[in-house]
Amino acid sequence: MPIVFTRSATSMAIEKYVSLAVSVIVGLVFALISWFAEDLPMFAKAFFLFAVTIALILSVAMFRQARAILKDGRDWQVEITDEMLSWFSPIPEQMESFEVKLSDIASVHQKQIRFRNSDRAPKTTFHIEFTNGRKLKIDPQLCGINPIKVFRALENKGIEFVFSTETKGSKVGIKLG
């Protein structure tokens, strides 16, 4: 019996529109502060203008992504059978759909990069390693389906799931104050 993971285009578009709304609100706040604050130094006004520009660029990008998702209307879907892994993406510009035999997959990898002495969130990467040595990177932001769920299901089918961590940054932290 196949294992199927599905994510609707509507839920993905809603997620993009929420991000769009946050970006627009942040841009408006910076624009209003810059507009109504009379005694701001020039460097502060330049900073606010830069923040508004970044918010505008992000808003346009998120709007385009959400529009592309809704325009197609199809769902993301991953299907795992006893012989095949099929990963369907309705937006080929974001991620190409693919089908691969399970016998061609050597292992699946999740790598978490942590940053020492930093408040940065860990960076996580995913890839599928094939028996011929080729690797296929899976971008968790664009693939539509949580790669960890898919990789765990593949692990249940006998494919090795490799989780590794890497720590970057200096071992000595310097804090002021």
CATH of the domain at 155: 2.30.29
pLDDT tens, position by position, for the chain (177 residues)? Answer: 889 999 887 887 888 888 888 888 888 888 888 778 778 788 888 888 888 888 889 888 888 878 877 787 788 899 999 999 999 988 777 788 999 999 999 999 999 988 877 777 888 999 999 999 999 999 988 888 999 999 999 999 999 999 999 888 776 655 565
Task: Among 24, 57, 72, give the residue marking a domain's end.
Answer: 72
Which residue segment(s) compose the domain that 100 sits in? 76-168
* pTM > 0.75: yes or no: no
Same domain, 35 and 108: no
Does residue 15 form part of some domain? Answer: yes
Residues 68 and 80 in one domain: no
125-133 long-range contacts (CB < 8 A, ≥24 apart) are 126/151, 128/100, 129/105, 130/100, 130/104, 130/105, 130/106, 131/103, 131/104, 131/105, 131/106, 132/104
C-alpha dihedral over 34, 40, 43, 47, to 10 degrees? Answer: -20
Tokens 């529009």: give the residue: 67
- Tell me whether residue 137 is in a domain: yes
Domain count, the chain: 2
What is the rounded distance in angstroms from the CA atom of residue 172 to the CA atom of residue 96?
42
Q: What 8-state DSSP symbol labels residue 126?
A: E
Is 105 in the same domain as 46? Answer: no
- In-domain check, residue 4: no
